Chains A and B, each alone.
Chain A
Amino acid sequence: MKEIDARGLACPAPVLQTKAALQEDKPDGLRVVLDNAASQQNVQRFLESQGFETVLEQDGDDYWVSATCRSDRVQEPRPSPEKETDARKIMVLCATDRMGFGDDALGLKLMVNFLRTLKEMGPDLCRLVFVNNGVKLTIEGSEVLEDLRQYEKDGLKIMVCGTCLDHFDILAKKQVGETTNMLDIITAMQVADKVISI
């Protein structure tokens, strides 16, 4: 076990020495020897505040503080959940109503399955954008309409290309999502950390 000799040092030097040892080696345990009660209590407190269990032994004028890592010790501070959502923003761009090439019936089935399973991304998913043939998934009669409505209700922003709806002449049939333009789509790409294109 790592040992630190902090004898002959005045507060706060023993705490700083202990802190430095923890930062350098990230040990599971260590022993600190001190020669005064104030430093001993300070070092013991510091170690306890850092998630260690401590045991004190006295040997003549020396104090030995032994520290072992508590089992419930959090090694690294966890980022707050809010930061987690901030840290990863995924935009999914669907430019087709079929997944992959080859069999169209299979492609449609896969697409339905893909959109239903997409919720497993959790809060990382921040934008779902439909362009070209993809917009057909947002109109009446779409197999995933209910799923998309649920996403929208859960707070996911769904964007549907207005030019595409217009091109297929299905603008009036759109049932879910916000009709959008290319500038909005590009801005959405820019603020996203990751864009997945289908």
Chain B
Amino acid sequence: MVGLDRADDAGVYRVSDDLALIQTVDFFTPIVDDPYWFGQIAAANALSDVYAMGGTPKTAMNLVAFPVKQMDLSVLRQIIQGGLDKLTEAGVVLIGGHSIEDKELKYGLSVTGFVHPSRVLTKKNLRPGDRLVLTKPIGTGIINTAIKAGMASAELTDRVTRLMAALNRDAAGVMSHFDVSACTDVTGFGLLGHLAEMVSGSGAGVRVFADQVPVIAEALEFAAMGLIPAGAYKNREFRESMVTFADTVERTRQDVLFDPQTSGGLLICVSAAHAVGIIAALKDSGIGDAADIGEILDGPQEKIWVL
């Protein structure tokens, strides 16, 4: 149903009239120092693709690349424990995995989930008039750069670590009760990068209200100091032609909108009639940062207006 030609969050294969399989794989190098939290974040990130497709993750397999000669095996045990605990929280069974020796540590998971074929959510079904809802604040790439630079406080580090490790399960659960037309999760391309993917080929345009986008406040300060990951510049360069910023959107906020996210929130297109309801329901489920950040327009096609 969804394959390589569609470049979506995960692949979807119809097994029968009422069952489709969602498959996805994701792994990366450590983004936090603590191995246990790295494991949790990697798992939350891998599971997120299934949630973004409207599905329920069921099974997972570990992917490990580990420098066994340089690093103590206890580090690996903590990473895997973190991943396993996150899978348990999500009600997912770990059924295997594979590890290789590598100079650079990498960890991630392959995740399989179920979805009813009629309930598959993709990036490509934008309905003009729909509202855009984002469920997690953005800015984790900039904060992680500041952490690497030793300029983030312990409190901020802890707050952002927990944010990245938070599952998108509850947001997906809420989403299933509303009239949602499309969904994706915000990761490496940044909010505007993922939005550009949604808009491409859709025939629709998007208007984003910059000051309504939930942002980790410190990310704006660090952006002003030049603590911006190279990925944010690449994201901007790649999608610049599709994005028009109003003069009122200052440069640091533009950077945050292109900031690559790790295990970011869901970006949901919901009918305007359901926008207030879905946000109230998200907040009731403890997703306090959820916000209505913009709307789908009839045109101009494939353009993102940031006001």
Contacts and interface: CB of A to CB of B under 8 A. Distances in A.
B146 interface: yes
A45 B142 CA distance: 14
A48 to B, nearest CB: 8
Contacts of B150: 16
Interface string A22-38: 00000000000000111
Interface string B203-236: 0000000000000000000011111111011100
B233 A41 contact: yes
B148 interface: yes
Contacts of B149: 12, 15-16
Contact of B226 (A10, A37, A46): A46
B228 A42 contact: yes
Nearest to A14: B226
B145 interface: yes
Contacts, number: 47
B254 to A, nearest CB: 12
Contacts of B233: 37-38, 41
User: B interface, how many residues as a size bin?
Assistant: 10 to 19
Given A11-B229, A39-B230, A49 B224 contact: yes
B213 to A, nearest CB: 21
Given A11-B145, A12-B145, A12-B146, A45 B226 contact: yes
Contacts of A37: 233
Interface residues of A, number: 17
A45 B230 CA distance: 14
A96 interface: no
B230 A15 contact: no
Given A12-B149, A15-B149, A46 B225 contact: yes
A15 B150 CA distance: 12
B230 A43 contact: no
Contacts of B234: 38
A162 to B, nearest CB: 51
A41 B230 CA distance: 10
Given A12-B145, A12-B149, A38 B230 contact: yes
A110 B303 CA distance: 80
Interface of B: 145-146, 148-150, 223-230, 232-234
